[in-house]
Structure formats: C-alpha cells, structure tokens
Structure 1
Amino acid sequence: MTATHGISRLLGSVEMARAFTLASLGAVFASFAIERMTSQVTMATIIAVLCLIGAAILWVRREELSALRIAPSSLFAFLGWALLSLLWTSDRTETAFGWLSLAGYAFLALTIGHIRDTLQTVRALGDTLRVLLSVSLGLEIVSGILLDLPFTLLGIEGNLPIGGPLQGIFGSRNMLGFIAVLALITFVIEWRTQSVSRALAIPSIALAAGLAFLSSSPTVLVLAAAVGIVTFALTLVRHARPERRSMVQWTLGTLVAVALTAAFVLRHQIIALLDAGSDFSIRADLWNKILDFVALKPIEGWGWFGSWARGEYPFTFINFQLEDRHQSALNAYFDILLQLGAAGLVLFLILGGVALVRSWLVASIRRSVVYAWTPITLVTLAVDSMFESFTVVGAGWFLLVLCALRAGQSRSWRENIDAAQTGAIPTLRSEH
C-alpha cells in the first residue's frame, strides 16, 4: 500500500506534470530526428510509452476531471470517421497504424491540456522550441562552416554559408519555417506575460526570426503576414469598448471575407510576388491529380493513412503519373479530402473552425495576453495547411488538438451542464 501510494503521489505531482509535458513536447517536435537516428518503431514506442504514462496520470487525477469535458465532441467525430474508414480502405493494417498514430498524438495533447494551464503550456513549449532551434542552428553551423560536410542522416546540406535554405532537425525547410514562426509566436507571448526575462526573450525571438529567414521557405512570408494581421485584429478587438466590440468583430469578419476574395482573384500576382511560381505549379498539378481520385470516392475517401504509405494505392499511382515522390498532398485539406472524403473534410473544418471561434472570443475579452496564443496558433495552422499537410500528422495535429481542447475548456456548452451539477452559473465576463 505504501509503494502504491508513493507512485500515486508521484504521478499526481506538479513536478511529474511538468516533466511529462516537456518529454511529450520534445518527442513530438523532434520526431523527424528521432526517426532518422533510430527508426519508426522506436518513435512509435516512445509515443506509446508516453500515452501509458499519460493515462496513469489522468487516472490518478480523475477526481479533477469531468467526463463531459475530456475532449471536444468534434474531435471524437473526426477520429471516429477515420477509424470507420477501416471498412473501405485498401490496406486495413496501414490504416490501423495510421489511426493509432493520430489517436496517440491526440491523447498526448489532451493529457497536457488537462494537467497544465495555458501559461504553463506556453512556457513548456517555449523551452522545448528554444532547445530544438538551438540544436538545429548548432548542427547547421557544424555542417556548413566548421566541417563543410552535409549530415545526410538528418538531411542537413550545410547551406548556412550561402544563406540557406536550412532545415535543421525538422526534415524540410518548410517545416523549419513553420516551427520558427510558431516559436516566434510563443516567445513573444512569453515575453509579454513576463514569464521569461528580457535577457532570454530577446535572443529567443532573434533565433526564431533568423531561422525563419534562413529557411528560405516561401510559406514563411505568408505565415508571417497572417500572424501579423490576426495579431493586429485581435489587438483592436481586445482594446475596443465592450459595447462596441460586437461591431468591431463583424467589421473584421467582413474585411477578412473581402481579403480572401481579393487574394483568390489576385492569386497569380501574389504567387509571382512571392517568387513561388514553380513551387506552386508543382502543387497545382498534384492537387488536380488528387481531385481525379477524389471524384471516384467523394464522400468516404480512400481510407486514412496519414503520411502517404509506401506502395499504397492511390498514392503510388498519383506519384507515378506525376513522376514524383510526394509523401503528402502538400495541403492538409486536400489530404483529408483524398483520404476521408468530403465527410472527413467537413468534420476537420468543424474541429478547427469551432476551436478558432471559441478561442478568439475568449482572447478578445480576457485581460491576459496568454489567451491570444491559442487563436494565433490556430490561424497559423489553418494558413500553413494550404501549403503543407503538417496539420494532419505529428506536431501539427498535436497542436490542433491541444488548441481545440484549450478553446473548449474556456467556452463550451459543457460548462452549462457542469455548472448545473455544481450549482454554479458559468459566465465569461470581460476582464478590465
């Protein structure tokens, strides 16, 4: 009994919660490097062990949890549809493994969301990304300057002396760019909330901004513009008087709709401005070919695989026709449309859309700037999903689930049910 009690106290401790969060974040964001240096089996084992530890932590803390608020219902719906695709997929084994990966990363995000608050999560993510970006820069310096030798195991080509593109330990320049932008958001939030000292915040921001630039990723400019716009818009809403806030929200919504329409009409000029013509042309050819296969199974899709499985139809046939080796649709929305059909895409959009609206409403009236992290991160994920499929696998999917849970914890119909059971009336008042 003494040993059991000791283990329970350890699992329920604050120190364990922080250690588990850091370990999970490190594994999730360093997954490419871990797989390259070991194997996919090792990475899967790490995630599985972390899930078991997370389950034990949640069990010990079960009295703190509410069954109704354990996860957003939209998440269960999306995971359920992905699991249901086992009935029509061409390879049930690969689909099962793909779904387990999806569920594993989601479970880690849910565990962290329940054992750490938003500020603690941001701090842990900041610490993790500081280390990983520093390691990436260090390896690029060793490869490109000190040894002048590429590190083929990690795909590092040693391009630092010529100004990039760099990819660090993340597998591609676009992934490094995405991680750097996410880190920039996180580091600024840390600084604004005074969670870290100025002496640490300024070098961290410089590190993230520098690697974002050196990644030479065309998507970084788009992500930076999106983050800047949403930050400005959120600032306007947060500083508006309560009686005028609704009008400001509707005005911003109208401007967003107009901007999206203008961006679509001027898409060719924008692509030329970004000097991403050839890159976009490759994507356009891929998306057109994907739509041919979507037309064959428009509602249910071809079955969930996540990253394109080697030797699986229709992925290999698409690559054969394009004479390429794509490992994804280079667009999260097209990837889900291909694998889970229109039904899966609708569920995915509901998951992200509801989370964005909830988190935006919370951030617009809460005093602390830490609440801005969730909607800004969700916008980053949504925009990046137009150019890459990061949001449906690994770190991107993990972030989406974490943000969806955060949004649901602060503004959800479940609050009313919980309140009715406890006799409290939940309200979300402006904090001034």
Structure 2
Amino acid sequence: MTSAGDATPGTIVRLLQSADFARAFTVAALGTAFAALLIGRTAGPVTLIAIVVALDVLGVAVLIARRDELTPLHFAPTSLLAFLAWTLASVLWTFDEGSTLSAWLELFGWGLLALVIAHVRDTLQTVRALGDVLRWMLGLSLAVEILSGVLLDIPFPFLGVAGDIAQGGPVQGVFGTRNMLGFVAVMGLITFAIEWLTQSISLRLSVFSLTLAGLLAVLSASPTVLVLAVMVGVATLALGIVRRAAPGRRRPTHLVIAAVVAIALATAYVLRHRIIRLLDAASDFSTRADLWNEILDWVRPRPVQGWGWHGTWQRGAGESVPYPFNVINFTLDDHHASALNSYFDVLIQVGWAGLLLFGALCAVAMVRSWLVAGSRRSVVHAWTPLMLVALLVDSMFESFTLTGVGWMMLVVCAVRAGQSRSWRERIRDVVDRDGSQDPPWGAR
C-alpha cells in the first residue's frame, strides 16, 4: 500500500509531465512576456520580476521531470550558449557590475522560459498558444485605446497611451510605443495566418484575428510596420517557391533566392535616402543616424569587448543610465533607452566579438528553419523562418530582440530550428556510420 506521503511526489511529477500543464505554462510564460510593460506599470517591476522568477523555477522543475525526453544534443544551440557566456563575461570589464549582472539575469530568465517552451511544446502547439495570447493582448490594446480616445477622451500616461484613436492614430495599446504595437501586430498576422492555413481554429476566428492584427498595425502608424510587412511578404513568396520546387531543384533555388536577397539589400542601401523619403520617416532616420554615428565613436576605444552588457539603457523612470550611455544621451541631448537597433546595441555593449556571436545565433537559426520549412510538407514549419524574418528586420530599427518578449521569441525560434537541424547531429551520424558495417553514402 502506498502512503499519502509517497504518492505526493509522484503526483507532482506526473502533473509536471502532463500536456495540460505544459500548455498552461506556455500560455502563462507568453502572456507574461507580452504583458510585461502592463504588469510593470500597474503592479510594479518587483511583481514582474517575481512572476518571471516563479515561472523560471516551474520551468526548471518541468525540465527535470521530463529529463528522460531531453538530449544534450538538442537542448540549446551552441551559438546561444556562446552569446550568453560572452555577455556574462562582460561583467569583468564593465563600469557598472550591478547593472550588467542584473541585465544578464534578465536575459537568462526570459531565455530560460523560451527554452522550456521549445522543449515542452511542438511548433503547432506553440503557434496555438501564441495565437491565443496575441488575440487577448491585441484585443485588450484596442479596448484600452477606445476607452482612452473615445469613451473617456483622456490619455493614460502610465501606459503611454495618447488616446489618439479617434484621429486615426497613432495608437500604442498596452505595449508602450507605436513601434512595439506594430511589431506585435505583425507577429500576430504571421501567427494567425499559420493558424488559418493549418485549420487550427475556425474560419470565423481566423478572420477576426487577422482583421484585429491588421487594424492595429495600420492604426499604430509605425514607419517600420510597412517595411516588416513587405519583407515578411517577400519571404513568404520565396518560401512558397522553394516548397513547390522539386527536391532535386531546391538547392539551386535556395542559391538563386540568396543572390536575389543580396542584390535587393545592396539596392536598398544605394537607394536608402529615396526609400526614407517614400516612407516619410526622414526625421526618425535622422535621429537614428545621429545616434548610430555617436555609438560608432564609442566603439573605437573598445572594439572587441564593448562597454559591458546592460540590455535596456534605462530600466526605470527614476533609475540612472549607465556609462557610457548617459554620456551619449547628454551629447545628443536626448533620452534614448536603447540604440534603436539591436545590432548597434550588441556592438557597443559586447563589442565585435559579441556581435559575431549574436549574428551567428541569428544566421544559423534562420538558415536551419528556412531549410526545414522548405523541405517539410506541413505549412506550420513556415512559422519559424517568417517569425525570424520579422525579428531580424525589426532589429534594424529597434532593439526589441535583446530584451523581454523579443529575446524570448528569438530564443524559441533558435531552439526550435536547432531541434530540426543540428551540425552536432550530423557529426554524430557520420561517426556512427563510420563505426558501423553499413555501406557509405551512395554505395548501395
């Protein structure tokens, strides 16, 4: 007979291993990430930290309970671990050890949640959970904007809501800025489209979701939304061409697409001023250009290691900006909370070495996920590369992918891509083949 005391640990383990708990954990983690600003502004940053820490503890417990399902080979991409190690090492040369350590713990905390999600949910389950969270968050954003701009006709400064929806925008929702709302809306469009194509939800809910995300993307009046939409659309078209190509012609198709992308990027750089005028974003780009030029000046004294990892330059309204970002803001007479570009932010914080590691993380994830989406039959595999396109393109205009939900989604996509294609798995296969009596490739 099993006593109650003996049954309790087994019950807890079964609960942690259950699919229902995995879904609940995924929804809670994603909901916390997308509602981070709302939680911080209403309940305080300590509450947000407590929620993330509690979720991390639960996540570790889930991984321990499911340890028989995990393999070191697919646990985490090497590029991700290397980037985390380098950012942690920057505590040795930073001017503010406390800020660097807390910023790294934040990076690690959100990354750990993403790691757990990627291991306890498959791609379709992740898309479904994300779709549910985004529907609620975008719906809440629209409700807050209507309450502020139509019903009460007063702004909500604590949320950054200006209440301009009656004038056609720009609106911010519960995400603080119009650019962040536009970014989330584009992520919603990708996710809702995949839900629709996989018939995971009803047609009525799909139409509602896509309409909601599209409406908020337009009302955000973010100059980056159009760029994101165009790039995601082009990536979707290219991926469709690859998926329809015969297996023997996919490699040359990939090479042609890569060449077209390189030519398009070069053309966009040459015509950048005309494109900026077309998007009516000259003032925004001028601000960014001044900031990036100043950052490059500060990179020269420490080109390899940077000035130390800090993530967001300013964590709260009353907190000081660490060195040298306070000097950069003083020189520009501005109050930037980031470099307004993930790549420049990584460059000044952890140098060229950190930028190479971050670039490797993004590039490897992109290539892996693209190849998988091009060869697998199910359309759900297209979610990962399309989401990465949105993340990496938006990184050229904002630093969202280095903190909070942006970093979390980047890690989810990177781990998901690594689970499908891994160079370490190929090495293992080669070793196993060389050590066996099976004939080599093409010897049949």
TM-score by length of 1: 0.96
Q: Tell me how far apart the structure 1 counterparts of residues 363 and 426 of structure 2 sit (CA, whole Å).
A: 21
For the residue of structure 1 that corresponds to 2:159, the secondary structure is coil
1:118-133 paired onto structure 2 within 5 Å = 118-133=123-138
Q: In the alignment, what sits opposite 2:250?
A: 245
1:202-221 paired onto structure 2 within 5 Å = 202-221=207-226
Q: Which structure has the larger Rg over C-alpha atoms?
A: 2
Q: Tell me how far apart the structure 2 counterparts of residues 179 and 421 of structure 1 sit (CA, whole Å).
A: 44
For the residue of structure 1 that corresponds to 2:397, the secondary structure is coil
Q: Tell me how far apart the structure 2 counterparts of residues 169 and 182 of structure 1 sit (CA, whole Å).
A: 15
Which of 169, 173, 177 is the equivalent residue of 2:178?
173
Q: CA deviation at 1:417?
A: 6.2
Q: Tell me how far apart the structure 2 counterparts of residues 113 and 311 of structure 1 sit (CA, whole Å).
A: 34
Which of 386, 411, 417 is the equivalent residue of 1:407?
417
CA RMSD of aligned residues (A): 1.4
What is the identity, as a one-letter code, of the residue corresponding to 1:347?
A: L
Q: In the alignment, what sits opposite 1:353?
A: 363
Q: Which runs of 5+ in 1 are unaligned?
A: 425-432
For the residue of structure 1 that corresponds to 2:260, the secondary structure is helix
Q: Tell me how far apart the structure 2 counterparts of residues 68 and 269 of structure 1 sit (CA, whole Å).
A: 47
Q: In the alignment, what sits opposite 1:427?
A: none
Q: In the alignment, what sits opposite 1:430?
A: none
Q: Tell me how far apart the structure 1 counterparts of residues 178 and 325 of structure 2 sit (CA, whole Å).
A: 23
What is the identity, as a one-letter code, of the residue corresponding to 2:395?
A: S
Q: In the alignment, what sits opposite 1:75?
A: 80
1:27-42 paired onto structure 2 within 5 Å = 27-42=32-47
Q: In the alignment, what sits opposite 1:228?
A: 233
Q: CA deviation at 1:414?
A: 3.4
Quick check: 1:391 aligned with 2:427? Answer: no
Q: CA deviation at 1:155?
A: 1.1
Q: Tell me how far apart the structure 2 counterparts of residues 227 and 213 of structure 1 sit (CA, whole Å).
A: 16
Q: CA deviation at 1:243?
A: 1.7
Q: CA deviation at 1:413?
A: 2.4
Which of 297, 303, 307 is the equivalent residue of 2:308?
303
Q: Which runs of 5+ in 2 are unaligned?
A: 1-5, 315-319, 437-444
Q: In the alignment, what sits opposite 2:90?
A: 85
Q: CA deviation at 1:311?
A: 3.0
What is the identity, as a one-letter code, of the residue corresponding to 2:365?
A: A
Q: Tell me how far apart the structure 2 counterparts of residues 236 and 333 of structure 1 sit (CA, whole Å).
A: 30
Q: Tell me how far apart the structure 2 counterparts of residues 175 and 381 of structure 1 sit (CA, whole Å).
A: 12
Note closer, same or farther for the CA distance 1:418–1:130 as it changes in structure 2 (3 Å cut): farther
Which of 128, 137, 140 is the equivalent residue of 1:135?
140
What is the identity, as a one-letter code, of the residue corresponding to 1:367?
A: R
Q: CA deviation at 1:230?
A: 0.3
Deviates more, 1:412-421 or 1:319-328: 412-421
Q: In the alignment, what sits opposite 2:271?
A: 266
Q: CA deviation at 1:54?
A: 0.3
Q: Tell me how far apart the structure 2 counterparts of residues 248 and 221 of structure 1 sit (CA, whole Å).
A: 27
Q: Tell me how far apart the structure 1 counterparts of residues 428 and 352 of structure 2 sit (CA, whole Å).
A: 34
String of CA shifts for 1:331-368, please: whole Å, max 9, x gaps: 00000000000000000000000000000000001011
Q: CA deviation at 1:416?
A: 4.0
Count residues in correspondence. 424
Q: In the alignment, what sits opposite 1:327?
A: 337
Deviates more, 1:239-248 or 1:157-166: 239-248
Q: In the alignment, what sits opposite 2:3?
A: none
TM-score by length of 2: 0.94
Quick check: 1:195 aligned with 2:205? Answer: no
Q: CA deviation at 1:129?
A: 0.2
For the residue of structure 2 that corresponds to 1:297, the secondary structure is coil
Q: In the alignment, what sits opposite 1:428?
A: none
